Each structure stands twice: as structure tokens, then as C-alpha cells.
Amino acid sequence: MRYTAAHWGTYKIIKDKGKRFKLFPFEQDKDPSDIGRGIETALTSSARIRKPAFRRGWLEKNQHHKNIKRGEDQFIEVSWEDAFELVSKDIKRVISNYGNESIYAGSYGWASAGRFHHAQSHLRRFLNLIGGHTYSKNTYSYAAAEVIVPHVLGNFYNFLFDTTSWVSIKDNTSLFLAFGGIPLKNGQISQGGVGSHIQKDYLKKAALKGVNFINVSPLKSDLEGVGNIEWLPLKPNTDVALMLALCYELNKAGIINNDFIYRYTVGFKKFLSYLNGSSDGIIKSADWASKIIGINKKVILNLVDKIKNSERTMISVSWSLTRQSHGEQPFWAAIALASIIGDIGKPGGGIGFGYSAMNSIGNHYKKIPAVSLPQGKNSVKKFIPVARITDMLENPGISFDYNGSRFSYPDIKLIYWAGGNPFHHHQDLNRMIKAWQKPETVISHEWCWNALAKHSDIVLPVTTPLERNDIALAPRDPYMIYMSKVLEPIGESKSDFEIFSGLAKKFGFKDDYTEKKSENEWIEWIYNESNALQESNHKFPDFDNFKEKGWYKSPDQLSQQIFLKEFIEDPVKNPLETPSGKIELFSKQIDSFKYSDCVGHPKWFGDKEYLGKSKKYKLHLLSNQPKFKLHSQLDNGKVAGNEKIDGRAVIEVNKIDAEARALLEHMVVKVFNDRGSCLAAVKISDNIRQGVVNIPTGAWLDPLKSSSISCVHGNPNVLTNDVGTSKLAQGPTAHTCLVEIEKFHEKAPRINAFDPPKIIAAKRERN
Ligand SMILES: Nc1nc2c(c(=O)[nH]1)N[C@H]1C(S)=C(S)[C@@H](COP(=O)(O)OP(=O)(O)OC[C@H]3O[C@@H](n4cnc5c(=O)[nH]c(N)nc54)[C@H](O)[C@@H]3O)O[C@H]1N2
Ligand SMILES: Nc1nc2c(c(=O)[nH]1)N[C@H]1C(S)=C(S)[C@@H](COP(=O)(O)OP(=O)(O)OC[C@H]3O[C@@H](n4cnc5c(=O)[nH]c(N)nc54)[C@H](O)[C@@H]3O)O[C@H]1N2
Ligand SMILES: [Mo]
């Protein structure tokens, strides 16, 4: 049997003699996702890039029309031979004129599953061989947590997959307070692949066993489908006020676990003096918080009682809580709250990061150690916090703060992207598009004509996993999948590996790049090297047997993971990696940075764009993860359409807000603020808090040149704000965004997002 693996699951592939194929659920998958079937139509759609293509203005050095910008130009197809020659020449030119630092290859993005064909690894391996590149730090997923949590708990990455298992929650948790909910739509995904989807099953089992889940979120659907769930629909971006009030009221009621605070934390006194208002004159009471979060004080006090009466409480924070202004604070405040309750390190209790986010979080399998493609060493030291790309392009040489130090932006002349889509993931796209015109060359590897490809100078067509062999192996997922090639590459597409091999040859580094190994030899190398890391009683089967069967499941090695158990058992022998070795409720280190936007303790910051802050823009826009796709991937396939109305992204609007604006179900509306505007189709519901609207991300950017609409398809990132979380992490803040909506009075324009640009067919030879 042949299988393929994606971030959204594993599928059996049945193919006829031609190019027709169908994907079927993996027989081991308890709860398969439909997302994968999107590729059945997307693979060979008209949006597929079939040949290397160069922007006409770039190739002809802007002679045909000086003012045609990236994103508006035609493309000329060229042969691979010419493409390798032109690309390598241009990279050499840029390096010799400006140095390697002027190449930006942060290239953030999820690419495809598969350990070998990981686009970014290949890009960096290639660029590192030729002198390096400016890189990026942290992610769009949880940048603020990546930077703050190490100060408070000593680590973040290692902790991600150490989250207390669902099994432990099912058997021990009494109260599960879910900030940002646990939207089941998200559990379809795990970076690197999923063997069997377990999230829904465990959530149901836990609810059946009597775990009391409370959904703290503006969206009811963030936790549903597992019985009667209490919904606490607070205003977006106000969770910190609620957490602080819970800390204050618990302490006031004497429910605080003093023993825990004494043994395992530092800085409580300073934090308490902030809660009590000694530092700012404001007592962080339920009364205070209720006005900020927009929920009755009684509900907060009731929650205090529930915590008091619960044997074991889990404080769960979704990653989305980092993607907001001051996104460091919700994680820090949640850790403080869990410390005051004192259930950290106990079965089913304490704190959890990202139960909302991926199938692997809470899975009880031990992490399978595995190797990746070696990327080599980057000789360039310049970096940016990943979401500061527009700032970087706009401000070469200007300095910025990050995690206690000052750095400066490089002057970027060449952008090289493979495996991500900044026209999906970045905020304030209108601003980014302007800044994007500045570099001399933009190169991307893509398989479809999305906005990234259309805004590139050089587009090199890549294969999808169905057109190459690979191996999938993801952390905390017990399955390893042999990903079979089922189709010959569509058009003239090549894998990222083949493309960089071709370029490396032009630089005289081909053998260093490939190490004289073919695709299949690399896959076997990854398998064998990973096998060498397994404990002796859990070795993988022979490679040929694995390949023949198509999958392997590692034995159940661990029944329960309990986050921070070792530290709690013996904080002296197993200290945290923080300066004090304990949980830092006050951080001397952060305090010493003297940042006004991130001080020494968790703090409520009200100086941001949130509900009630603007007379002009009265609605808070959330842009959560889409249900029927991963980000922008497969937006052009048949499954993503399930989440749209007449092909357009949906905006969910509360009944009362819709009535106030005379909006009707399915009506096309203009959503706007000072940064931009998009069209979307209305879905009226009482699933969303009044004053809040939501457009899931992922609609391919589709600007309407003839009008002022920044995107007729419904990409929310033309509206979102591009400001760092704070000087500490400089993370993205998509969820801090106010808008207004009104009926779109004109005829709804056609969506052109999936149309390729105008392409001029390849000439035989080119000098
Ligand atoms: N408003 C708003 N914006 C957000 C978010 C939000 O909540 N709200 N969430 C943010 C988050 S958490 C994330 S992680 C980002 C996600 O942002 P991205 O990860 O950039 O989004 P994807 O659509 O997954 O982009 C992956 C791209 O890689 C391409 N690709 C797939 N396979 C291959 C391959 O083998 N080789 C090459 N070269 N390319 C390949 C796909 O075609 C696709 O264009 O978005 C962020 N943006
Ligand atoms: N189907 C699908 N699943 C995915 C992805 C996808 O694209 N599609 N992307 C994956 C990726 S890359 C990531 S990083 C994870 C992200 O995982 P999350 O960050 O958990 O996912 P989101 O859907 O962005 O956010 C979850 C919910 O948080 C709520 N929320 C937003 N702002 C606030 C707030 O201020 N307070 C509270 N209390 N709630 C708020 C929103 O209602 C939203 O539905 O998801 C992963 N899973
Ligand atoms: Mo993410």
C-alpha cells in the first residue's frame, strides 16, 4: 500500500494508470481529517506552476515599463538551464556587491511534511555553503511565549511537548480552564505529520469522566462538541485582567497555596504588591477586571469558588493568546495563576500550553528522537525577530530591541523564500507590499501561483509530496510513514533538493550539498541515523520492510506525562533553568531591561487597539486558524471551499452587531480600518461575543486594482496590525485589531486569486 503524510494526517493513495488518484483515510487513524482531499483538485489546477518563470520587469531590467511593480507584472517562462544560470549569477552579484548579510532567508513557513524534503532546511543548507544569510528567530505561532517563558520557567521548546498528557487530565483533572478554548478544528494538524488523531477522543473521554471544562474565549465554538460547556465570552485581549483578578481574589480569600509559592517560586511579594495596587494605586479585584473583560463580577467570583472547590485545576492557554499586543503577558499571568493554585507538577493539574493548537500536544507518546537534514553553519550573525520583516525592509541600519539587547536591521537586497507564504502569514499586508518592492531580487520556490509567487521576480516550481519520496516522523506522534511518490512531477517542477543541487553545481559545491547522496539514499540515511538514537528495545524494523509496509508505530513507551513533575518532586536536584532555579513571578532579568512595555512581573496593559478604544472602528477582528485547510495551503482545493460562501471568506458577526448594521446572512460586506479593507461574506451567529467578528485566515490575497479594496477574497491580514508584542519578544500581534463593516453596495467582484498571472511562453535560448 502506498501512503502519503501531511501536517493534517496520513492517507492511503489509490491511483489509476493516468494522473487520477484519490486519497483515503489511513486505517490507523481514529478521526481522519478531510483537509487532505483538497489536493485531489489542487494538484493539477490552473494555479499550478509548471515551469520556471521570471518577472518580465526583472528579466528585462525594467525596460518594458519602469513603473510596473512586483505583483502586477507578467512572467516569462525560461528553461531550467537558463534559470540556474540566471539565479546563480544574480546571487553571486548580490554577494559580491553587498555581502551575504544582504540576503534574507528567514523564509518562515510550514512547507510540507516529510523530513527530507523540508524546504527551509534545503534553502539554509545551500545558502550556508555559499557564505550564509540573514535569518529569523522565533515563530508566528507563539513568539511571545518563546521569549518570555524561558525567563519564567527556564525553557519553552522542550516544554512544548512535555505538556501533561490527556490521559492524566482525563483521570485527575476536576477543573480545566481553557483560555482560548480547545477548538477541535486545530487538532487536525501536527507539524511534521499525524498518524492517528486523538484530540477529540480524549476531550470527549475527559468530559465524560466529569472534567469541568470552561471555555474562556470570545468564540463559543472554541470549545464544543463534548457536552455542556460553560462559556465565558470575555472581550478579546483582556485575559490578563481576568487572570490577575483571579490571582488577587484567590489570595484575598486565603485560597493561595503558600507552600507552593515558597518552595517553587521567587518574586511573589513584588507581584502581590502590584495585585494590591501598591505600585499603581489600582487593586486588581474582580470589580476592576469585570469592567475590562466585559463580564459580570459575579461570574469572576463564581470562578474563584470553582477553583477553590476543585481538587485539581488545569490552566490551559492557547497559543493565540501570544498573537496580540503584549502577548507575553497572558502566558506569564497564567503561570502566576497556576502557581497560586499550586497544582503544577501534579497529575492533571498546573499549566498547559497549546492544547488548543495541535494533535500532538497532550499525546502521551514519548518523543521519538529523530535526525533532520543537516543545515550546516550560517556565517552571518544578523537576524530579525521573524515578524519584523516589514520593519527590516523599511529601515535598513535602524536599531531595534529584542530580549534585553539592541540589534540593527540589515540592508536586504535579495529575498529567498521556500516553504512559506508571507502574503498569508504577515500582518498589515499593504504596508508589507510597499516594503517588498525595495530589494533588487525576490526568489521563491512554490507549487502554486499564490500571492508570494506573483510578488516574486523568480519563481521556481516545486513538486508536492505526491511527486517525490520522503519519510514522515513527528514529535509525540508514534507513527512513522514512508511517503511514496505516486506521480511524476507535474510540468517541469523539481523538488527543493533538486533545485538547490542544480544551483550548488553552479557554485562548484554540488557534492558538498548532496554529499553524493540521492533522494532515496538521504531518506534511508535519516531512517538509519534516527534508528541509532532509539533505545535498544525500541529499534525500528529493517528499512526495506518499513518501506514495503509503508508505516511503523513505535510502542507505547510512556503512559502519563506530567509537566514539571521532576522539578516539583525535587526543586533542588532538578532546578528550572531560570536564574533562580525557580518559577519567576518577578524576573530581575526582565526588570533590568527597563522596558516600559514588559516589566518585571505580569502586568495588564490597556494601551492597545481593543474593544471600546475607537469610536470609528467598533468591532474587534479575530482571525483564527481555518477549519478546512492549513493556513493558505490548499485554499485552491475542493475542501477549503466548505468554509466559504460563494468562494469568499466568511466573517462571523454577532446577531446584534448585524442588526445594528442591517447586515443579512451571506451578504457581501466591506471590512475596513485605516490599514486596509477586504470583502467577506456574512455569517450571523450567537456563537461570537457581541462586538467581536472573526475571519479565519488563509484566503489567498486578491487585491482589486481598480478600486481601493485591498483583498476581494477575504484575507484578514490586510486589516491586522504589524507592531511587535513588546520590546522583549517583538512577536506578531494579529489578534489586536479593530475594524468596521458595512454592506458592499457594488456588484461583488470576481475572485481572481487562483488565476495565474499573464505568462509568456518560454523562448528556446536566452543569453
Ligand atoms: N491574521 C493572522 N495571521 C496569521 C495567524 C493568525 O492567527 N492570524 N497565524 C500565524 C501562524 S500561527 C502561522 S504558523 C503562519 C503560517 O504561515 P505559513 O506557514 O507561511 O503559511 P502556509 O500557507 O502554510 O505556507 C506554506 C507555503 O509553503 C508552500 N509549500 C508547501 N510545500 C512546499 C515544498 O515542499 N516546497 C516549497 N518550496 N514550498 C512548499 C505552500 O504552497 C505554501 O505557500 O501564519 C500566521 N499568520
Ligand atoms: N485546521 C487548522 N488547524 C491548525 C492550523 C490551521 O491553519 N488550520 N494552524 C496550526 C498552527 S500553525 C498553529 S500555531 C495553531 C494555533 O493554535 P491557536 O493559536 O490555539 O489557534 P487559533 O485558531 O488561532 O486560536 C484559537 C482561538 O483563540 C481565540 N482567541 C483569539 N484571541 C483571543 C483572546 O484574546 N482571548 C481569548 N481568550 N481567546 C482568543 C479565537 O477565538 C480562536 O478561535 O493551530 C494549528 N492548527
Ligand atoms: Mo502557527
What string of H, E and C letters represents the secondary structure of 18-62?
A: CCCEEEEECCCCCCCCCHHHHHHHHCCCCCECCCCEEEHHHHCCC
494601551: which residue's cell? 607
Would you say the CB of residue 140 lies under 6 angstroms from ligand 1?
Answer: yes
Q: What is the mean pLDDT of the chain?
A: 96
- Apex 266 CA angle, 592 and 165, nearest 5: 110
Torsion angle of alpha carbons 152, 153, 155, 158, nearest 10°?
Answer: -150
47 dihedral zone (left: phi>0; alpha: psi -120 to 50; beta): alpha
Q: Which pLDDT score is estimated for 558?
A: 65
Q: How far is the CA of 625 from the centre of ligand 2 (A)?
A: 5
Q: Which pLDDT score is estimated for 557?
A: 64
Q: How far is the CA of 318 from the centre of ligand 2 (A)?
A: 7
For ligand 2, what atom is nearest to the CA of residue 139? 14
| Confidence class for position 15, pLDDT limits 50, 70, 90 | confident
Neighbours of 520 (CB within 10 A): 12
Nearest ligand to residue 635 Cα: 1
Question: Tens digit of pLDDT for each residue in 183-207?
Answer: 999 999 999 999 999 999 999 999 9
Q: Which residues contact 707 (CB under 8 A, 6 or more apart)?
A: 746, 749
DSSP state of 131: T
Question: Tens digit of pLDDT for each residue in 360-405?
Answer: 999 988 878 899 999 999 999 999 999 999 999 999 999 999 999 9
| Nearest in space to 181 (alpha carbons), one of 689, 707, 744 | 689
Question: Tens digit of pLDDT for each residue in 217-246?
Answer: 999 999 998 888 999 999 999 999 999 999
* Residue from 156, 320, 608 whose mutation best tests the ligand 2 pocket (most atoms within 8 A of CB): 320
Would you say the CB of residue 630 lies under 6 angstroms from ligand 2?
Answer: yes
Distance CA 529, CA 372 (A): 9
HSE (CB half, 13 Å, CA atoms) of 665? 3
CA distances from 285 to 251, 275, 326, 420 (A): 11, 8, 21, 44
Would you say the CB of residue 186 lies under 6 angstroms from ligand 2?
Answer: yes
Q: Which residues contact 554 (CB under 8 A, 6 or more apart)?
A: 365, 366, 368, 478, 479, 480, 538
β-pairing verdict for 53-55 and 21-25: unpaired
CA distances from 766 to 51, 83, 228, 530, 623 (A): 15, 10, 67, 45, 45
Nearest ligand to residue 700 Cα: 1
State yes or no: is 11 an active-site residue.
no
Distance CA 300, CA 245 (A): 8
Strands (E), 129-210: 135-137, 175-179
| Confidence class for position 766, pLDDT limits 50, 70, 90 | very low
CA distances from 226 to 164, 179, 356, 713, 727 (A): 20, 17, 14, 33, 40
Greater confidence (474 vs 559) lies with 474
Question: What domains, with CATH codes, occur in the chain?
Answer: 46-139+370-542 (3.40.50.740), 155-364+561-592 (3.40.228.10), 619-743 (2.40.40.20)
452587531: which residue's cell? 657
* Residue from 321, 424, 500 whose mutation best tests the ligand 1 pocket (most atoms within 8 A of CB): 424
Q: How far is the CA of 349 from the centre of ligand 1 (A)?
A: 33
Distance CA 20, CA 313 (A): 51
Can you give the three-state secondary structure of 247-313, one letter per residue?
HHHHHHCCCCCHHHHHHHEECHHHHHHHHCCCCCCCCCCHHHHHHHHCCCHHHHHHHHHHHHCCCCE
State yes or no: is 108 an active-site residue.
yes
| Amino acid making up residue 55 | R
| Confidence class for position 17, pLDDT limits 50, 70, 90 | confident
Q: Which pLDDT score is estimated for 16?
A: 83
Mean local confidence (pLDDT), 538-556: 93
Nearest ligand to residue 389 Cα: 1
Q: How far is the CA of 140 from the centre of ligand 3 (A)?
A: 6
Would you say the CB of residue 720 lies under 6 angstroms from ligand 1?
Answer: yes
**Protein residue with its CA nearest to atom 6 in ligand 2:** 630
**Protein residue with its CA nearest to atom 34 in ligand 2:** 236
Q: Which pLDDT score is estimated for 763?
A: 60
Question: Tens digit of pLDDT for each residue in 66-84?
Answer: 778 999 999 999 999 999 9
Joined together, the cell numbers standing for residue 280 give 499603581
DSSP state of 578: S
* Residue from 318, 329, 650, 687 whose mutation best tests the ligand 2 pocket (most atoms within 8 A of CB): 318
Joined together, the cell numbers standing for residue 500 give 538547490
Active-site residue, selected from the candidate residues 3, 11, 58, 110: 110
**Protein residue with its CA nearest to atom 25 in ligand 2:** 320
Q: Which pLDDT score is estimated for 767?
A: 40
Would you say the CB of residue 357 lies under 6 angstroms from ligand 2?
Answer: yes
| Nearest in space to 678 (alpha carbons), one of 653, 638, 650 | 650
The answer to pTM > 0.95 is yes
Q: Which pLDDT score is estimated for 391?
A: 98
Helix (H, G, I), strand (E, B), or coil: what is residue 370? coil
Would you say the CB of residue 716 lies under 6 angstroms from ligand 1?
Answer: yes
Q: Which pLDDT score is estimated for 18?
A: 78
Would you say the CB of residue 323 lies under 6 angstroms from ligand 1?
Answer: yes
Greater confidence (334 vs 225) lies with 334
CA distances from 723 to 171, 230, 548, 607, 620 (A): 42, 34, 50, 13, 16
Greater confidence (474 vs 667) lies with 667
Q: What percent of the chain has pLDDT over 70?
A: 98
Residue 593 pLDDT more than 60?
A: yes
Active-site residue, selected from the candidate residues 3, 108, 610, 617: 108
Would you say the CB of residue 192 lies under 6 angstroms from ligand 2?
Answer: no
Q: Which pLDDT score is estimated for 226?
A: 85
Cβ–Cβ < 8 Å for 419, 668? no
Nearest ligand to residue 320 Cα: 2
Strand arrangement, sheet containing 313-317 = 230-232, 212-216, 175-179, 313-317, 350-353
Distance CA 438, CA 419 (A): 22
Q: How far is the CA of 707 from the centre of ligand 1 (A)?
A: 28
User: Which of 538-545's residues contact partners 24+ apart within 8 Å by CB, and which partners?
Assistant: 540/480
Q: Which residues contact 733 (CB under 8 A, 6 or more apart)?
A: 323, 324, 325, 327, 427, 720, 721, 722, 723, 724, 725
| Confidence class for position 599, pLDDT limits 50, 70, 90 | very high
